[in-house]
Amino acid sequence: MNLFYAIFLGALQGLTEFLPVSSSGHLVLAQSLIPGFSQPGVLFDVILHFGTFFAVIFYFRKQILKFNKNYLMLLIIGTIPAALLGYFFQDFFEGLFSNRQIVGFALIITAVMNFLTDRYRENDGVVENTKSFIIGIAQAIAIVPGISRSGSTIFAATRLGVKKEKAAEFSFLLSLPAVAGANILQLSKYHGQIDSNLSLYFVGFIFSFLFGILSIYLVLKLLLKSKFKYFGWYCLLVGILAILL
């Protein structure tokens, strides 16, 4: 791994983790279509995900400091579906990461969700236990590469009448336990050696963190302006190309 590769993967992780376009789907397509491209190693991948993890904490630090036990319970409830699905069907989902056509169809589904999110009518609904669980199911479905986690959870929340800004906020905060849990699971299975060039890990982390903050800002801005259709057209185009190529 070189400096350019570390910067590229960090920026890619930061942007696609929160933009409703599916980070996992893009990694699968990049590996399939770009000669010489390969998925980052387990440890580097974990570090990149912690970059976006801390981007959420930094961006929503004021809200996090105001957490009460009720909101924490909502996050726990919303995390349960993905935790169960990921734990019991891990091998099945890992097998999907080698199928470009499945990623293509999943991206088209993500496109439809993005288009429909723009059709949302302003509502003052809030997240409560039942809604949190349903949003959690949407997050669980996003284990499929090509289904955007942010796109599916924001879509589900707005369909349930949650105000756009609150829907996005809950979506991003809901990613924290999911990302932490997935990373801990990956690290528990890691038995490789640490690359001697630790500076590249740091570079990847920083770029993932900075581009993660940028993508959160873009999602909130475009969501409130009902501009998710841009992501919809993008996912539709990439999905069709993934199927045909």
Reported as a single tens digit per residue, the pLDDT across 126-159 is 889 999 999 999 999 998 989 999 999 999 999 9
pLDDT, residue 140, reads 94
Residue 165 has pLDDT above 80, yes or no: yes
Contact by Cβ (8 Å): 186, 46: yes
- Write down the pTM of the prediction: 0.89
Residue 168 has pLDDT above 90, yes or no: yes
CA 187 – CA 207 distance, rounded (Å)? 21
Alpha helices in 60-197 (DSSP H): 61-65, 69-88, 90-96, 100-117, 129-141, 149-159, 164-188
Phi, psi of 118 (to 5 degrees): -65, -20
Residue 7 has pLDDT above 70, yes or no: yes
CA 207 – CA 60 distance, rounded (Å)? 19
Which amino acid type is present at position 175? Answer: S
DSSP state of 154: H
| Secondary structure class of 125 (helix, strand, coil) | strand
Mean pLDDT, the chain, as a whole number? 87
pLDDT, residue 100, reads 85
Query: In 3D, which of 45, 20, 18 has the Cα closest to residue 31?
Result: 45
Q: Which residues contact 145 (CB under 8 A, 6 or more apart)?
A: 22, 24, 25, 27, 28, 96, 97, 102, 103, 106
Residue 170 has pLDDT above 70, yes or no: yes
Reported as a single tens digit per residue, the pLDDT across 80-131 is 999 898 878 877 877 777 788 899 999 999 999 999 998 876 677 788 999 9
Query: In 3D, which of 215, 223, 96, 93 has the Cα closest to residue 154?
Result: 223
Phi, psi of 107 (to 5 degrees): -65, -35
Query: In 3D, which of 25, 24, 239, 14 has the Cα closest to residue 115?
Result: 239
Which amino acid type is present at position 220? Answer: L
pLDDT band at 35 (very low <50, low <70, confident <90, very high): low
Using CB atoms within 10 Å of the CB of residue 43, give its burial: 0 to 12 exposed, 13 to 18 middle, 19+ buried.
middle
CA 68 – CA 237 distance, rounded (Å)? 42
